Structure formats: C-alpha cells, structure tokens
Amino acid sequence: MSADNQAQSAEHRLVMNQRARRRALLVAATVALGIATAWWLYQRYTHVFSEDARIATSMIEVSAKVAGQVVEFPVSQGDELLPGALIAQIDDRAARLTLAELEAQFQSMESACQRLEVQIDMVDRESGGQLSSAKSHLDAVQASLASARSDLQFKQGEWERAQSLRERQIISQQQWENARNAHQQSEQLHQRALAEVESARGNVVEAEAGQSRIQVLANELRGLQHERDRIRASIDKQKVMIGDLRITSAGKGTVDETFVHVGEYVVPGQRLLLMHDPQRIWVDANIRETEIRHVEPGDQVTISVDAYPDREFRGEVVRVGQSATSQFSLLPNTNPSGNFTKVTQRLPVKITIEPADELLRPGMMVEVAIDIR
C-alpha cells in the first residue's frame, strides 16, 4: 500500500472516531437531559415549591415598666440570655428611701396597735371584774331591800294596829312603845337598804362606763389597724416597683436589637430591646393559590437555605392560611382606571423546623419543597 493510501486510511479512521465520540456524547447528553427532565417533572408532580419563604419567630419586646435613669445595661446585640439574666437596672435609690420610710411608719403604727391592745385587755379585765361584782352586789342589796320593804309593811301594820288598840285602852303603854320602836327600826333598815341599792347602782354605772371606754379604745384600735394595713399595702406596692426597676430576662433568648444606653431616662412602655428564642422558629412560606389545594397539615418539607448550600433541613406543614396575603396589605389594591390584570395570589403556610443547632436565624430567605405524595 502506498504512503498516500495509508494516510487517507488513517484520516478516515480519525474522522470516524470523532463522529463516534460526538454521537456518544450526544446520546449521553440526551439521556442526561431526559433523566433531568423526568426528575424535574417528577419533582413538580410530587412537590410544591416556593422561593417566597423566610425564617420567622415571635419577637419578644422588653419594655420599661417604670420611669427612671438607666444605670446598668449589660447586654448588646447577639448576646445569649438565660432566664433571670439582667437586662437593665433603673436607678432605685429614691424608691428604696421611700420604702425605708414606709417600713419605719409601719413599725411605729404596729407598736401603737400593740400598746392599745394591751391597754384594752387591761381595762377589760378590770372593768369586766368590777361590773360582774357590782351586778352581784346590786342583786344582793335589791333582795335585802325587798325583804326590808316587806318587813316595813308588816311593822307599819302592827304599829297602826297598836295605835288603835292603845286608843281603846286594850294594850298597855309598854306594848304600844314596843310596836312604835319596832316600826321605827324597820323604817331605818328600809332606808339603809334603799341607800345601799342606790350605791350599788352607781357602782354598776361606773363599771359600765369602763366597758364603754373599751369600746372607744376598740374604735381607736380599728382606726390604727386600718392605717397600718394601708401602709403595709404601700410597702408591698413599693417593693413591686423596686422589682420593676430591675429588668431581667423571662426566658432563654438571643438579643436582636437594643434601643437604650446607660444614662438615658426611660418612661413606662419605652422599648429597651428585642429578642427571640432560637428554639422557637418556623418558616412562613407563601404558596401560589393554584397549588395550595395540594398542601395539607402534616406534609413533610425539605428546606434549603442560601447560607448553608450543602445542607438540607427538614420540616412539617402545621397550618395552611385561609386568606391570601394581599388581604392584609396596608394599602388596598384599588383599580380606579377599570383596567384589570389577573395576578396569582399567594396564601401563607406555616412550617415547623426540626432542631438545627440554632443555625437558622429569623429573616433568612429559604426555599421549600413540600412533599404532597
């Protein structure tokens, strides 16, 4: 074979090999494209996708409850707070001085109440015993008076009978004098009994006056106790206010933004910082209305985050919104011109996220693929 023929044969084989390689590459590309297309169609058939989604959380706003100057503010953006961690301390010197004054007033009022209680007890024991004794004595002398009155009536009758008999000379002078003396003696006993009753009644009135004094003292005690209780309530209120001057974290969280500095004067309701609990995050995804019918609570979700391109996160649909997001727009979508362009609306879907070691942060944009199989 000549040299020219050999060269032509080699060139022909080279061309054939190149064609074979191109044909193989074309077939491989076609197969790959077919597989990719099939996979894309499969995914689109079995999943609902949305790029309009972001990490959400409940932002916790910490505000001042009382007015005052901030003397401590040891937190800054990004700090991790534990329950009970100090967020801010507002100047409490004036409040503590007021508390000390109230406590001193309370102690003084408590001592006054105790002294008055002792006095009432002493007067009650004294007047109570006197009243009982006076009443017993009055009962005794009233009984004696009744006996003396009965005896006087009897002696009065005997004396009148003796006078009548003496006028008729039936009894002797001595018998008449005996009757007269007996009557006079009975009258003296009756007068003495009357005096003793009056004296006993005076003693009862005096003892009852002691009981009335107890009532006056008791009214005074009730007034002091009312004032003491009012001061105690003021002390409790002051302690609550002092507690409100020290602002602490109610739970675990991450500080997102601070709004005050040491030395600033704050007023009740003024915002101090925003924080969130990194364990309580979820995804708010907006799904097209044409696909929302396929989404149900319990559907599994694959979540992709731009910040972690090599990692996928798992979640689950927990709530499907009942109104389009446009319904909550601050500016209504009016159409004064009469022209209308139909726009596909989106409905909100809430998706929980499996624990992710606090990698995900509120506001991050994500892509979701909801498995609707």
**Does 91 score more than 90 pLDDT?**
yes
34-43, 170-179, 268-277: which is most confident: 268-277
**Does 86 score more than 80 pLDDT?**
yes
**Does 136 score more than 70 pLDDT?**
yes
The closest of 115, 135, 120 to 210, measured between CA atoms, is 120
Is residue 232 classed exposed, middle or buried when 0-12, 13-18 and 19+ CB atoms within 10 A define those classes?
Answer: middle
Beta-strand pair 253-258/271-276: antiparallel
224: which DSSP letter?
A: H
Count Cα neighbours of 2 within 13 Å in the Cβ-side half-sphere. 3
Q: What percent of the chain has pLDDT over 90?
A: 37
Structure confidence by residue, pLDDT tens digits, 288-343: 988 888 888 999 999 999 888 888 899 999 999 887 766 555 555 555 555 656 77
Q: Which domains does the chain have, with CATH numbers?
A: 49-65+270-373 (2.40.30.170), 66-89+246-269 (2.40.50.100), 93-244 (1.10.287.620)
For 260, the enclosing helix (H) or strand (E) is: none
DSSP string, 85-148: -EEEEE--HHHHHHHHHHHHHHHHHHHHHHHHHHHHHHHHHHHHHHHHHHHHHHHHHHHHHHHH
Q: When comparing pLDDT for 270 and 125, which is higher?
A: 270
**Does 62 score more than 80 pLDDT?**
yes
**Does 134 score more than 90 pLDDT?**
no
Which pLDDT value is given to residue 242?
95
| Lowest pLDDT segment from 49-63, 118-132, 275-289 | 118-132
What is the dihedral angle through the alpha carbons of 307, 312, 313, 318, rounded to the nearest 10 degrees?
A: 110
* Matching residue, tokens 């709530």: 319
Which pLDDT value is given to residue 4?
63
Tell me the C-alpha distance between 329 and 370, whole Å.
26
Q: Which residues contact 286 (CB under 8 A, 6 or more apart)?
A: 50, 52, 53, 325, 346, 347, 348, 349
Look over the chain and give the mean of its residue pLDDT values, rounded to a whole number.
82
Query: Which residue type sits at 146?
Result: A
* Matching residue, tokens 């508390």: 99
Confidence of residue 12 (pLDDT cuts 50, 70, 90): low
| Lowest pLDDT segment from 119-123, 189-193, 202-206, 250-254 | 202-206
Residue positions counted in the chain: 373
Strands, E assignment, 204-305:
246-248, 253-258, 265-266, 271-276, 281-288, 300-305
262-289 mean pLDDT: 92
Structure confidence by residue, pLDDT tens digits, 19-40: 777 777 777 777 777 666 655 5
Which pLDDT value is given to residue 118?
85
Tell me the C-alpha distance between 221 and 215, whole Å.
10
Query: Which residue type sits at 126?
Result: E
Neighbours of 72 (CB within 10 A): 14
Tell me the C-alpha distance between 97 and 92, whole Å.
9
**Does 132 score more than 70 pLDDT?**
no
373: which DSSP letter?
A: -
